[in-house]
Amino acid sequence: KVIIITGGDSGLGKAAAVAYAKEGANLVIPYYNEHEDAMETKRVVENYGARCLLLSGDLSKRKFCEEVVSRTISEYGKIDVLVNNAGGGVTIKEVSEFTTEEIDKTIKLNLNSVIYGCKAFANMMKDQKEGTMINISSVCARQCWPTWSVYAAAKAGISNFTAFLAT
């Protein structure tokens, strides 16, 4: 199997990458910043015999998502599973204190990247007549805390977007 895990360089994404590697999958891990976490994940999953392609870029940019598709096809020829896991709080404070730039960055990272990823891989999966997309949301999609409003809105968007994809 060929598995793409966005944000697979740390946290839940890294744990998923290790679990898939233990099951014999090959991995593509798009991540945002050059740092040691990505190289460590690559070392760990390769210890289980998995091949691992690391791709550094911004998943909130449509062009990078398309590059991930192109590089995945070039390296593996197919994709079996897309795990849209990249995301983060970015800025956590009351909505009245957000700058427009902070709002945009939070929405782009947590919602746009998921939509762009699904769009980028949808035709490939249709052509293959198989494939699975897993979109990671958050408890914040349903639970309300005043300082998590923008992040929560993005995560609720993921939940609704995923429900529509399933129909």
- What would the two tokens of residue 153 be? 């809105």
Give the residue numbers marked as catalytic. 151
Q: Which residues pair with 55 in a beta bridge?
A: 30
Q: Tell how many helices (H) and how many strands (E) occur in the chain.
A: 6, 5
Q: Is the four-CA dihedral 15, 109, 138, 149 of positive or negative sign?
A: positive
- Asked whether 84 and 112 are in contact (CB, 8 A), the reply is no
Distance CA 125, CA 98 (A): 38
Q: Can you tell me which residue has the tokens 């902070």?
A: 102
Cα–Cα dist 140/148, whole Å: 7
Question: Tell me, what amino acid is at 25?
Answer: A
